[in-house]
Structure formats: structure tokens, C-alpha cells
Amino acid sequence: MSLAELIAPEHGERTHIAVFRALRLGNMLCATPALRALRTAFPHADIALVGLPSTRDLAWRLTSIDRFIEFPGYPGLGDAADLSALPDFLRSMQREQFDLLLQLHDSGRIGNPLVASFGARHVAGFVEPDGYCAEPALHAPWPASGHEIERLLGLMDHLGIARSGSTLEFPLQEDDRIELAALWPEAYSGRPYVVVHAGARLASRRWPVERFARVAERLAWQGCDLVLSGSAAEAGLVAQLQAAMRAPAVNLAGRTTLWTLGALIERAHLLLCNDDAGVSHIAAALGTRSIIVSCGAEVARWAPLDAQRHTVLWQPMPCRPCSFAQCPYDHGCATAISADRVFVMTQDLKLPVFTAELAS
């Protein structure tokens, strides 16, 4: 019996599917190929994303998602949980009576017991060896290695859902570009610019600000404009970056929305960033070249698939992948990557320059 036949509701009603992935923006973007495959397989289904509030805006724009259900968190799933909201959330999920709950959050160690309480007719996802799952036939073994995009698409394969490509989706609209033009008109001047995003959610994942500054200023001396991006919470960090630079830069930290940030990256000739920032996945979705300094992440799992357009620089360390918010050692994964090494990689991309000296 096919998955479509298994989960088909009685009396020809619309199929209702929930996807559980309570992860941040970059991780959500890595799930968009699997979500697209799901939508293609169930074009008329009502598909709800159960996720973190920070991914609501993305969910609203994805054609693979019809609606968004905010997840209040749960012990052991990373972000701080609002346990007082959990009982109402569970009752609401149970009232939905989903035909299928697709658990795309984790290996199943924590996620599977949790989603079993959502009250769906059928549950699919991953399962660890000797781990718990409600329906073994609908659960694929959790891969010990491999890229996140391929891991999720592998689950689609297991469920008999055909793939619809592996490209990420970040659906910009023309209004986003108009808003960017109002915020920073020079984005559409035709001059090349580089977006420098020195922030990352965890301090352990940040390359030193001074090294970002050294690379950025050398690109400026070659004729590229510099734009510094970051959230409002990262404004202080970005101010440190700007103060450390010996070249002018436009500071847009805290001034962009998710979508104007995307429009900014779309027009950029290069994005220079850390690996723990969702912007690296935005660049991958939009096809903007990027150089990513990876401090602590699991590179084989999270690096952009297109190695021609996206370069990841990293240093093997026995403590990778890192689970610390602050490095308890000497932060060798970051300090081993020199500014010179990163700058050399920018030259391999042959960025256009507009200085008279280099044009002559």
C-alpha cells in the first residue's frame, strides 16, 4: 500500500499533514527540498509546519506549506521551552487529528516520543537503532553521516515520495527588493559589493572580528563596496567590526528584515560569514557566492552542496562538532583560519572590481 493510500482520510476529505521541525532558519532552509517533494506528492493536502516562531515568516512564503503552528519548545530540543504552554499545545494538536505527522526534527531519540503525543493517525520519520517509533514501516534508519539535505530526501525515498530536486528555497518578492532600494539605494547602482556577516548565534562559532575586518578592507581596496549585516542583537558586534576596519562600510545591522536581508544577499557579489548563521543557507538558496568560515560545525552535514559557488574553510579538531556556546579550549577551530587564507579564496572567485587602477 502506498503512503497516499495509507493516510487517505475517509469520505474523500482533504488529507491533513503536519511536519515537525522546530529548528532555526538555516536548518529550516535545508528542509525545503524535502518539503517541496512532499507538496508535489500531495498537491491538494493541507500541510502545516510545526516550528519555532523564528521560522514563521519563511513558512508563510513557502508554497509547500499552508499554515504554521507555533511550537512552544520541549526539554532536550535545544531552545528554551515554555512548558506552561505545552499542555494547551498538545491538546490543540490532538484536536487537529492529522492524517500524517512527519517528524523531520531529529533522529527520533527525543522527537519520536514527543510527536507520538500529537494524536496523528500515522507518524513517519527517523529512528535510531533500538529506538522508539510508532510505525516501523514509516521510519527510516537514522544515517550516522551525510548531508542534512540528502538525509531528509533519503527519508522521502523511504516513504516512496519522489524527489523534486535538492535546491533550497528562499522565496523573495519584488516588494523585498523595493524595500532594500529604499533602505540602501546603492544596492542597485551596479557597483560590486560584499556582504560581511560576522555574527553567529553561539560565540564558539564566530571567527574573530579582527580577521573579518582584515579580509573586508582588502576587498574594499580592490574596489568592492562593503555592507555589514547582522541582527539588532548583533549591533554591538558589528560596531566592533566596523571600528576595526580601515575602509568605509555601510552598517545595516538591525535595519533589515529577513526578506530585505535576502534581497541584499541576492544582489551581492560575495557573502563572507560564519557557518552558524542562517545567511549562508540564504546565499545557497539564492545562488550568491559565499565564503564560510566554519568554527565547530559538522561541515559534511551543513555545508552548501554547490562547492563551486560556496567555499567552506575549516580546521579539523578532535572536539568537532562543537556543542559548547563558549569554547572551553583555545578556539583553535577559529584561530587556525588566517585572514590571508580567506582573502586568497576571494581572489579565486575573480570578483569584479571598478577601481581605475585595476581597470587600466
Give the pLDDT mean for 344-350.
Answer: 82
pLDDT cut 70: percent of the chain above it: 97
pLDDT digits 0-9 by tens, 79-138 = 778 999 999 999 999 999 999 999 999 999 999 999 999 999 999 999 999 999 989 999
Contacts of 112 (CB under 8 A, 6+ apart): 103, 123, 125, 127, 131, 132, 133, 134, 139
pLDDT digits 0-9 by tens, 281-311 = 999 999 999 999 988 888 888 999 999 999 9
pLDDT digits 0-9 by tens, 244-271 = 999 999 999 999 999 999 999 999 999 9
User: What pLDDT is attached to residue 322?
Assistant: 78
In order of their start, the domains of the chain are 3-158 (3.40.50.2000), 175-350 (3.40.50.2000)
User: What pLDDT is attached to residue 119?
Assistant: 97
User: What pLDDT is attached to residue 354?
Assistant: 39
Q: Is the pLDDT of residue 352 over 70?
A: no
User: What pLDDT is attached to residue 357?
Assistant: 36
Average pLDDT, the chain: 92
Q: Is the pLDDT of residue 205 over 90?
A: no
Report the alpha-carbon distance of residue 140 to residue 154 in Å, rounded: 8
Residue 219 CB coordination number (10 Å) = 24
User: What pLDDT is attached to residue 17?
Assistant: 98
Q: What pTM value is reported for the model?
A: 0.94
User: What pLDDT is attached to residue 356?
Assistant: 32
Q: Which residue has the higher pLDDT, 359 or 190?
A: 190
